[in-house]
């Protein structure tokens, strides 16, 4: 050690400064197995406090959506005219509406509807969007051209207007909302997957796989899809709040789920009539929980995107 450090007599620089760091010698040996891509992503995700908060909220909301309606002796539709519009108390934890229905039970029933719609929309977006975009990008050429022109036209349609028109034709209800969401919801995903596939299919490892005799099926399953999975998952996560908003919006307009089924949108709509009467709980609870849900999914989705974004990787 001593002989490696240069002697500088007329200097007050301590000798230790010139001793090479032990780390440098060890760098040559692999001292821990490289993290897999997903382990890496999860590490970054869990370091993001906001994203973790979002995830915890999502889990709590899901649990409450499942057990919430069973926690009281009321059902979402049981009425009690004598107890109409009671303020929150020990029997009606979140108060009651003008028909004496329990707001607490209805809020969690509404959570079921919202989460169900969100999950269904994400799943539909995944199935249609990935298939359509994948085929379009992988086939390329004329097929791609025709498929993308169709997407261009669909993309030009104002999304909520299409949904509203369908509601008028098919009649309101949960099923119609899902159909309506699936007609326009997959377009963004299709464009995203197509772009990724276009980029990836010319990558050298894909060429290598092809040279080695890999079938189209194998290339798509083993190479293209896994490498596109990050953006796909982010897009799905961020679809959920959009779908939840769409459902609440339509239900608010009276085009969504129909009475007596509770949804945050219909509850807010019911509260519109009593907005200046001081029955604050009628609006506050559905408003609070829909905002909390949107918040949770949005920050979680954002966190996921940041965790997956290659630009952030150092």
Q: Which positions lie near another protein, rule CB under 8 A?
A: 149, 152-153, 156-161, 164-169, 171, 241, 245, 248-249, 252-255, 268, 271-272, 275-276, 280, 283, 287, 290-292, 294-295, 298-299
SS3 96: strand
Residue 74 or 194 with smaller CB distance to another protein:
194
- The CB-side HSE value for 226 (13 A sphere, CA atoms) comes to 9
Closest separation in Å from C-beta 160 to another protein: 4
Peptide bond into 260 cis (omega under 30): yes
End-to-end Cα distance, the chain: 33
Closest separation in Å from C-beta 159 to another protein: 7
Residue 53 or 209 with smaller CB distance to another protein:
53
Closest separation in Å from C-beta 269 to another protein: 9
Distance CA 1, CA 10 (A): 21
Closest separation in Å from C-beta 221 to another protein: 26
Looking at the DSSP assignment, which residues form a beta bridge with residue 96? 102
From the list 139, 164, 193, 126, the residue with the least C-alpha distance to 255 is 164
Residue 74 or 176 with smaller CB distance to another protein:
176
CB 83 within 8 A of CB 92: yes
Residue 46 or 288 with smaller CB distance to another protein:
288
Closest separation in Å from C-beta 153 to another protein: 5
Which ranges constitute the DSSP H helices of 259-279?
Answer: 264-272
- Compute how many other C-beta atoms are within 10 angstroms of the C-beta atom of residue 200: 18
Left if phi > 0, otherwise alpha if psi is -120 to 50, otherwise beta: which for 87?
A: beta
Closest separation in Å from C-beta 237 to another protein: 14
Residue 116 or 295 with smaller CB distance to another protein:
295
Distance CA 124, CA 171 (A): 21
Structural element, H or E, at residue 166: helix 159-170
Residue 19 or 165 with smaller CB distance to another protein:
165
- Compute how many other C-beta atoms are within 10 angstroms of the C-beta atom of residue 79: 17
Residue 39 or 311 with smaller CB distance to another protein:
311
Closest separation in Å from C-beta 309 to another protein: 11
Query: What are the phi and psi torsion angles at 19 (to 5°)?
Result: -80, 125
Residue 149 or 218 with smaller CB distance to another protein:
149
Residue 255 makes CB contacts below 8 A (sequence gap 6+) with 164, 167, 168, 172
Closest separation in Å from C-beta 53 to another protein: 11
């Amino acid at each position: 050690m001593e002989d490696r450090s240069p002697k500088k007599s007329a200097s007050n620089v301590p000798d230790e400064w010139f001793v090479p760091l032990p780390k440098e010698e060890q760098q040559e040996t692999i001292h821990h197995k490289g993290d897999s891509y997903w382990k890496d992503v999860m590490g970054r995700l869990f370091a993001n406090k906001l994203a973790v908060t979002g995830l915890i909220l999502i889990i709590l909301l899901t649990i409450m959506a499942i057990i919430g309606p069973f926690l009281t002796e009321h059902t979402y539709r049981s009425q009690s005219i004598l107890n109409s519009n009671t303020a929150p108390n020990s029997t009606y934890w979140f108060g009651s509406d003008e028909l004496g229905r329990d707001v607490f039970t209805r809020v969690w029933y509404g959570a079921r509807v919202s989460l169900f719609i969100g999950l269904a929309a994400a799943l539909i977006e995944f199935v249609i969007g990935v298939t359509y975009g994948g085929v379009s990008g992988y086939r390329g050429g004329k097929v791609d051209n025709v498929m993308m022109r169709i997407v261009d036209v669909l993309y030009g349609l104002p999304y909520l207007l299409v949904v509203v028109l369908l509601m008028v034709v098919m009649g309101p209800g949960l099923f119609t909302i899902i159909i309506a969401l699936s007609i326009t919801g997959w377009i963004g995903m299709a464009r995203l997957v197509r772009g990724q596939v276009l980029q990836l299919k010319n990558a050298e490892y894909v060429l290598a796989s092809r040279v080695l005799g890999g079938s189209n099926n194998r290339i798509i399953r083993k190479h293209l899809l896994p490498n596109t999975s990050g953006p796909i998952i982010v897009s799905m996560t961020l679809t959920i709040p959009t779908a939840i908003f769409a459902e609440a919006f339509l239900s608010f307009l009276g085009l969504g789920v129909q009475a007596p089924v509770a949804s945050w949108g219909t509850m807010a709509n019911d509260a519109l009539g009593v907005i200046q009467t001081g029955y604050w709980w009628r609006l506050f609870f559905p408003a609070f929980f829909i905002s909390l849900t949107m918040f949770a999914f949005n920050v979680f989705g954002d966190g996921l995107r940041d965790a997956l974004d290659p630009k952030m990787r150092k």
